[in-house]
Structure 1
Amino acid sequence: MALLTPDDLKNMTDDLVENDTLIHKLTGFSLDRLCSEIYKTEKKKEKIAIIPVTAGCGIIGRFSESLLFTVKHFGMDGFITKNTDVAGFYEAVMSDADIVLMADDLAFIAYNLKNKKIAHNQICTGRVYAEILCRSKTPDLVAEKKALVIGLGKVGTPALETLLKYGYDVSAFDADEKRVNDVISYYSKLNTGPHTDLAGRVKKYDKNAGEKFYKILEATPALDTVPENCLKNGSLLSTPGIPCGLSKKLQEKYNVMIVQEPLGIGTLSMLYAVFDEK
C-alpha cells in the first residue's frame, strides 16, 4: 500500500466516526466490539505510547495525532512521545507504557511491552476489512457466500485468507497476473494438513465473464480498479485502499455501501490483536 499523506488524513476523524456507525449497522457490532470478537481480547487500562519515527521519508503530518484520536475515541489512554525514534521508545518504556505504536516506510506495528504480542498493520487491516464483509447481516449480504478480492498484496492476501476461513468462494484479481496464479496455485495445494478448509476455493476473476458480487474487498492504491460489470445494486465495498477504487458515479448508480477509512480501522484491529485475551 502507498504511504499515507497529510491530505489522506485531513478528514480522518470524521471518516472514523462515520465508518464506525456504518460498521455497526452492517454487523451489529461497534468497531471496537467487532475487533474484540475477532481476536477474543479486550481492552483494560492499557497505556499506549505513539512514537514518531523520522527514518526513511520522515514523519507524516497528522499521523501521530490521528493515532491519538483513535486511541482516545475508543476510550483508551494514550500519548505521543516528546522524543522520536529510539529516544521515543526509551521514553515510552520509562513512562510505563503498555503498548507502543510506531511506523516507518516499511512497517507499522503495535507491540505490547507486557505480554510481548506484536501486530503488523497490513495483516490486521486486511483481516478486519474482510471480517466486516463476512459479518455483514443484511439479507442479501448474509446469503452471499462469494466475494471478489481486488489487489493481492500485503493487505489483500490476508483479507483473502480470512474470507476463505469463513467458507467463501473467492474470485481474485491483481494487476500482476503471476501473483494471481501463484495465490491460486498455493491454495489449490492445501489438500492435507491443518489448512484443508482453505483449499481450492480461489479462482481468477474474469472481468469479461459478467459475474457480479455483493461483497467486494479492494486493496490497491489506484483509482477505478472496481469494474462496473462486477457490481450489484446494494453491493458492499470494503476497502482500505487510498484512493477509493470505485468512482463516485458508480457508487451512486449501484447504491454501493463503502467501508473506507485511511488509518483508524486498521489501527484498532492491531491494538486488539495485542491486548490480553478475555
Structure 2
Amino acid sequence: MTRLKEDDVNEIATSMVDYDTELVRRTGSSLKGIAANAVGRELSALYNQQPQVAVIPMTCGQGIINGFVESVASIISYLGFNTVVTESRDAGGVAEAVQNGADILFMADDDRFVALNIKTGKVSDNGEATGKGYVAGLERMCKGLRDKKVLLIGAGPVGNGAALALARFGAVVSVYDINLPSSQRLTGELGKQGYAVTIETDLEEALSRHRILLDACPAGDIIKSKHIAEDTMIAAPGIPLGVQEDDVKLLSERLLHDPLQIGVATMLFDVL
C-alpha cells in the first residue's frame, strides 16, 4: 500500500460534499455510482443491506497516519452506512468490533489495506479495488471505453486491478512499467483470462500515442505538458500525482485523482 501522509487525508472528512459534487461534474456519476459501477452491482441491491462497519486503528510497522482511520470512516459514513472507529487498536480493535456486532472491518498496515466481511468471508484489497474504481470513473468520464486505446502506467496491485477492469470494459489496453517483468506478469495473467494486453517499453513514446491514461505508479511528474492534448483524459490513483503541478490546469475537468475516496467506496461495495 502506498504510504499516505497526514496532509493527503486531513481534509477528507470536511470536504466530502464538495468532493462528490466535483466528481459528478467530471464524470456524471456520484461516488456511490462509480463504486457500484466498479463492482457491477445495482445501488438498490447494495443499499438493501445495512451493515455495521468498524474501522480499526493499526499500530504495527510505521504505525498510524494521523487522520487516516477518521478519514476512512468519514467516507463510509458519507455513503450512508453506520460506521465506528474502535477505541482499541490492533487485535483489541478487532475483538471490540466483533463483540459490538460489526459486520465489516476496515484495517491497514504498511503492506495491506483491506475490508473484510466477517459474515461472508469476502475480502477486498485496496490495491485491486482502487484500480477497479478508477477505471469505473474513467469509463464514465470518457462516456465508455469500448475499443478505445488506454495506456496503463504501473503494473503493481492497483495496475493489476485496473488492467482487468479496463479489459472487461472493452478497452484496448497497453501497459508500461519501469520493471519489465511486472508488465509481463500482468499480461500473462490477463492472457489466461482471454484478454490481450500490449506491453510498452518506452514510456515517452507510449505517452505520445495515447489520449486516455491511467496512472497507477508511485512516480511523480512523469506526465508533462507535451503529453496533454485537448482530448486527454487521465485517471490517476497513484500518489504522488504523476502530472506536473503546473500542468494540472491544462486538464481542467479531465483529471480524476483523490487519496482515498474512490478506493474506500469500491472496497465497501465489493464486500457487501
Shorter-chain TM-score bucket reads 0.7 to 0.9
Shift of 1:60: 1.1
Which of 197, 200, 217 aligns to 1:204? It is: 200
What is residue 30 of structure 2 aligned with on the other side?
30
What is residue 148 of structure 1 aligned with on the other side?
151
What is residue 161 of structure 1 aligned with on the other side?
164
State the AA in 1 paired with 2:218. Answer: P
- Residues in 2 aligned to 1:123 and 1:142: alpha-carbon distance in whole angstroms: 19
How is 1:189-228 mapped onto 2 (pairs within 5 angstroms)?
A: 189-190=191-192, 195-196=193-194, 198-199=195-196, 201-204=197-200, 206=202, 207-208=204-205, 211-228=208-225
Kept in 1: contact 2:217–2:238 (CA 8 A): yes
- Residues in 2 aligned to 1:224 and 1:150: alpha-carbon distance in whole angstroms: 13
- With over 3 angstroms needed to count, the CA separation of the structure-2 counterparts of 1:30 and 1:94, relative to structure 1, is same
- With over 3 angstroms needed to count, the CA separation of the structure-2 counterparts of 1:209 and 1:102, relative to structure 1, is closer
- Residues in 2 aligned to 1:252 and 1:144: alpha-carbon distance in whole angstroms: 28
Return the TM-score normalized by structure 2: 0.88
Structure 1: which 5+ runs fail to align? none
Shift of 1:90: 0.7
Q: Does 1:119 align with 2:124?
A: yes
Structure 2: which 5+ runs fail to align? none
Output the aligned Cα RMSD: 2.3
Return the TM-score normalized by structure 1: 0.86
Shift of 1:87: 0.9
Kept in 1: contact 2:228–2:250 (CA 8 A): no
Which of 46, 71, 80 aligns to 1:42? It is: 46
- Residues in 1 aligned to 2:78 and 2:251: alpha-carbon distance in whole angstroms: 32
- Residues in 2 aligned to 1:183 and 1:118: alpha-carbon distance in whole angstroms: 21
What is residue 246 of structure 2 aligned with on the other side?
249
Q: Does 1:62 align with 2:67?
A: yes
Kept in 1: contact 2:145–2:170 (CA 8 A): no
Identity %: 30
Which of 220, 227, 230 aligns to 2:227? It is: 230
SS at match of 1:12: coil
